A and B are shown apart, each in its own frame.
Chain A
Amino acid sequence: MTSPALTAASLHDMIADLLGMPGALLPILHRVQEKLGFVPREALALIANELNLSRAEVHGVMTFYHDFRETPPGKTVVKVCQAEACQAMGAEKLTKHACKRLGTEMHHTSASGAYTLEPTYCLGNCALSPAIMIDGHLHGRVTQERFDALIEARQA
């Protein structure tokens, strides 16, 4: 993913409406990631500046939360639930299959940059397990065949 160079002005525009919120840091980090796909290193100092925090504080918050990425993700982000209800229905096998099919390990992006594979701990779809999320879309009862079909549909 190529993102235009982040300047103080462009970051300010991106988050201006959030600056007045009490406890604005999480909404701001979400916004930046929503717009850029990740939270680039250079954004941290700019955010810190906007909120009168130190860069270390912003970095500390950002790294505490599993959601925020420091590097650009692949074109498609696939999250496979690793929690108990999905394990009970074969999440482990599905995860292995996903790694093979997408050509990457958990927490990584495929060499082609097409896919990022991430673990997640419950998607609230535990009665229709195993569950996965592809770019924010929830899928249930995901067999290996269905996984492949969903990935192909995403590419199309």
Chain B
Amino acid sequence: MAIKVFVPRDSAALSVGADAVAAALVTEAARHNEAVTLVRNGSRGLLWLEPLVEVETPAGRVAYGPVTPECVPALFQANFLQGGTHALRLGVTEDIPYLKRQERLTFARVGITDPLSLDDYLAHGGYRGLRNALDLPGDQVVAAVTTSGLRGRGGAAFPTGIKWKTVLNTAATQKYVVCNADEGDSGTFSDRMVMEGDPFVLIEGMTVAGVAVGATRGYIYLRSEYPYAFRTLNAAIDAANGRGYLGENVLGSGKAFHLEVRLGAGAYICGEETAMLESLEGKRGIVRFKPPLPAIEGLFGKPTVINNVISFASVPIIMDKGGEFYRDFGMGRSRGTLPFQLAGNIKHGGLVEKAFGLTLRELLYDYGGGSATGRPIRAVQVGGPLGAYLPESQFDVPLDYEAYIGISAMIGHGGVVAFDDTVDMAKMARYAMEFCAIESCGKCTPCRIGSTRGVEVVDKIIAERERAANVQLLRELCDTMLHGSLCALGGMTPFPVLSALNHFPEDFGITREGIAA
């Protein structure tokens, strides 16, 4: 029988040469007259080890990495098809501590299955959740999601069940389900990994939402920076349509659910849900006033469920194993798990799905292995470009939505970006303002003008001009943006700026008391 060899098709793996490795493996196997079946799986999320090649052996899947095309002949010589010893051998994949210590619920299949094989998906527990949902009235599906405690993983952490309930209870001739796959936050890639590594779980989650609230049409709003995910999603949607998991009559239930992917066009603000709706309607991505809530008047003025990729992708396991099962992970009001993403200057960057409640220190050192450069980690931005910079003194705060709010920080979409001690925090504050200026939708003055002014003021501080006075001015600007912005772009850009200022005043040439040093 042919031996199964896995080489990821995840774009992170491709970005460091996975295709060339796959090609070399096929060539070398032919040369050795070995029958191998090449599976292009998703990534296990141990990204520093990509391209990570796995071989199926009687003892389980054995991993090798990072593999280069040049070392493929040596792997064959080392009998790697039988799990043979080689310098790149990492052991049985599931036993690698980085993976073994995780709690993979949403990412249960990512890296294990062939993302485009519906049969593989079914063989690994796929579509059990939808089948259960189809047997229940809509309000009981919503009740299960409410019980799970799932809160929106896109950033705002709003309870998913409550949102669904509003859509369910709003009568309309047409309702929509929209997936926010804009994943604009730097330092985040969990949405991408799901879409490339297990697209059916997203499709299933959205279908559950559709049948529960009575929506027959769904859109995935995908950022254009993700061309690989675009192709994978479209192929998966075709497969699901072909087998009756999507379409006019989902699994013979008499319920329709049609799904389509739409591409964004490089505007960060289109991740904000109402700007996203405008964009889907073919307009400029300008933020809408709320109310009305999108759950009542959303896409084309109709009731719309809007959730992040990870929120939807967490629904199938909830519908399969029950809301209680999911709720039993986590702490406080942060229930379940979050796929954290370790990025930036970190030795072992990758995806770590864990129940809420662990600490940043555990993520950075137990998983991340410290900085990539070997220098001390000085600052960590959590939660994307609108998230605060944390100094080491805050590394032990539990990763819990409320605990983070308590230190003026945000977990957001779970991105963790590490910087070593060469970072200049005044520059990072400047960048936060600059990013806001570039991406502002322009609707409100504090954001549009304030961010540009912010860049100028930080420039003066960096140029050592009247530092104490300019720092004061910067604080006042932040205050205006915090209180006078319509959405979180203008309203939260002050978080990275103020945290940089408060925790790293020396980079601005001032003392902690705000006096010029």
Contact = CB atoms under 8 A, between A and B. Distances in A.
Contacts of B372: 89
A12 interface: no
Nearest to A87: B431
A128 B350 CA distance: 9
B423 interface: yes
B198 interface: no
A85 B187 contact: yes
A27 B265 CA distance: 10
Interface string B199-233: 00000000000000000000000001111100000
Given A124-B192, A126-B343, A127-B341, A85 B186 contact: yes
Q: How large is the interface on A (under 10, 10 to 19, 20 to 34, 35 or more residues)?
A: 35 or more
A20 interface: no
A1 interface: no
A89 B345 contact: yes
A94 interface: no
Contact of A128 (B12, B188, B417, B439): B12
Nearest to B227: A136
B417 A84 contact: yes
A60 interface: yes
B interface, over-half SS: mixed
Nearest to A81: B186
Contacts of B48: 127-128
B266 A30 contact: no
Contact of A124 (B11, B280, B284, B344): B11
A146 B183 CA distance: 27
A27 B372 CA distance: 40
Interface string B430-470: 01000100110000000000000000000000000000000
B346 A122 contact: no
B349 A127 contact: yes
Contact of B262 (A26, A65, A139): A26
Given A23-B281, A129-B344, A122 B266 contact: no
A84 B431 contact: yes
Interface in B359-408: 372, 381, 385
A135 B228 CA distance: 13
Contact of B186 (A29, A65, A84): A84
A24 B15 contact: no
Contacts, number: 152
A126 B341 contact: yes
Q: Which among B262, B265, B279 has the highest number of chain A CB atoms within 10 Å?
A: B265
A65 B267 contact: yes
B184 A131 contact: no
Given A84-B186, A126-B186, A128-B16, A67 B385 contact: no
A99 interface: no
B112 interface: no
Contact of B267 (A23, A25, A66, A123): A66
A124 B428 contact: no
Interface in A11-26: 22-26
Given A22-B300, A67-B266, A124-B183, A85 B285 contact: no
A141 B344 CA distance: 11
A68 interface: yes
Interface string B153-189: 0000000000000000000000000000001111111
Nearest to B280: A23
Contacts of A133: 225
Nearest to B419: A88
A37 to B, nearest CB: 15
Given A30-B265, A84-B381, A126 B284 contact: no
B47 interface: yes
B224 A67 contact: yes
A29 B265 CA distance: 9
B58 interface: no
Nearest to B438: A121
Contacts of B187: 83-85, 122, 126
Interface of B: 11-12, 14-16, 47-48, 50, 183-189, 191-192, 224-228, 262-268, 279-285, 300, 341-346, 349-351, 372, 381, 385, 415, 417-420, 423, 428, 431, 435, 438-439
Q: Which 7 A-B pairs have the closest CB atoms?
A: A127-B349, A83-B186, A25-B282, A126-B343, A65-B265, A88-B344, A140-B15
16 contacts: A23-B280, A25-B283, A26-B280, A67-B265, A83-B186, A85-B417, A121-B186, A122-B183, A122-B186, A124-B226, A125-B12, A127-B12, A127-B341, A128-B349, A136-B227, A140-B15
